[in-house]
Amino acid sequence: MAGPLLEEQPLLVVANNNISDLGSDSIEEILENKGEVGIKWWARLFAWESRLLWKLSAASIIVSVFNYMLSFVTLMFTGHLSALELAGASIASVGIQGLAYGIMLGMASAVQTVCGQAYGAKKYAAMGIVCQRAMLLLLGAAVLLTFLYYYSGAVLKAMGQSESIAEQGQVFARGLVPQLYAFALSCPMQRFLQAQNIVNPLAYMSVGVFLIHVLLTWLAVDVLKYGLVGASLTLSLSWWFLVIVNWLYIVISPSCKETWTGLSSKAFKGIWPYFKLTAASAVMLTLEIWYNQGLVLVSGLLPNPTISLDSISICMNYWNWDINFMLGLSAAASVRVSNELGAGHPKLTKFSVIVVNATSISISLVFSAIILIFRVGLSQAFTSDAEVIEAVSNLMPLCAISVFLNGIQPILSGVAIGSGWQHIVAYVNLTTYYIIGLPIAIVLGFKTSLGVAGVWWGIIVGVSLQTVTLIFLTARTNWKTEVEKAVDRLKKSANMETLQLVAAV
């Protein structure tokens, strides 16, 4: 049986010794003949895809985690000022900054879709235009969101927060106004670089800025005693450091000489098709991020809001740390999917989706175990208040469940971004999160004795339903059709007249 197979499939003979050297075209050919491939081959193919995935995701995870750690460290320092100031900073970070982050990240994710598919199709010149277009749109959004930041105190009171917490939240939010404009520039630039597999330099930049941020925050809060204002302004400054180093790399590095050809008026042309994809991306991720952050907002309405907010905020910081780890993996999944769709490889696209999900679920099991084992120590890193520590320890099992779900849901969202399904996922998020999950959370939180735990259980129900729906949609996807859609999308969004498939479907 082996003899005839090797004669009929000479590619397998070559790959038998050098599979790591094969390109996507060759792997697509092997997957086309999957009926002829044995178990040994599936293991080798899994290793081939895993190597590419980790080459992308290792640095992407570092970028995502260390960008998030900027806010994480800021809240850790404010947590040692007072419980009230931590509550104010937390509610502003969730209710105000969280909204802006969701919008900016969502709008920037369209860069991953279009630039990733352009890179896979070897249409490099279009990528710089798409990045500039995204920056223009995000700067417009930043201008509008500035009013939300400035009047955040009134917004937080309207949400039902106490006057003292809302006042502290406003102080913190106003110091984050410069960060808005840094978001608008840095988010598209980072996704522009990730789409062309430039991830290691981004990781070095993120780690370097993080180390500077820790030093500056310590000086502003602990040494100079500038309080919440010092903490928030330092966070804004650190994000501008990211903008500067990202921009210098794009302009100076020879790695971007084909994809970045300078500022161009073409960024203003064909902006409507791109805006529609951007708007869908923003709605998709904003609904997703706000649903998770809504747990903190609702907790502020419960009895004893300071303890409720502090305990849930500490848990959410660790949950968000895991989310950002998975967002790094999700970004890699998005790049892999968009690149292979742009290159006309439906079989390899589907295989990439399977590999990344298997990998992320395994990692989430480990993270869930760590949270359960070290739940007391993790709470003590934020506070020395015994009441808060006890409340955090009681909530950690729910955090562990959420962490496990994060092993699936963000990855499938990354696949959706790479495929350009943002508008579909937006409807799914609206239904599962806000029509089903949130009402359950409110009932369990306010009409039972569960309190914060009841709110969290409702959140988990919504996430579980959304995850099951995305699994169903992904499993039923016709990847050949998605390749055709990718060509059409790139043609419209990049304002190009023609685009041919690199490989026949």
pLDDT average, residue stretch 7-33: 63
CA separation for the pair 228, 78 (Å, rounded) = 7
Identify the pLDDT of residue 212.
96
The whole-number pLDDT of residue 418 equals 64
Both structure tokens of 115: 């630039």
**pLDDT value, residue 11:** 53
pLDDT of residue 496: 43
Tell whether pTM > 0.85.
no
Measured CA to CA, the distance from residue 31 to residue 43 in angstroms comes to: 13
Q: Would you say 471 and 408 are in contact if contact means Cβ atoms under 8 Å apart? A: yes
What pLDDT shows up at residue 206?
93
> Which pLDDT does position 241 carry in this prediction?
96
Residue 431 has pLDDT above 70, yes or no: yes
**SS3 state at 504:** coil
CA distance 268 to 361: 42
Tokens, residue 76: 């850790």
**403 pLDDT above the threshold of 50:** yes
Q: Is the pLDDT of residue 211 over 90?
A: yes
Q: How far is CA 390 from CA 303, 384, 469, in A?
A: 17, 11, 36
**Mean pLDDT computed over 179-186:** 92
- Which has more pLDDT, 437 or 449? 437
Distance CA 11, CA 30 (A): 8
Region 222-244 average pLDDT: 92
Position 491 pLDDT exceeds 90? no
* DSSP helix/strand/coil, 192: helix
pLDDT of residue 238: 95
Q: Where are the alpha helices (DSSP H) in 302-408?
A: 305-342, 346-373, 375-380, 386-405
Cβ contact 260:111 at 8 Å: no
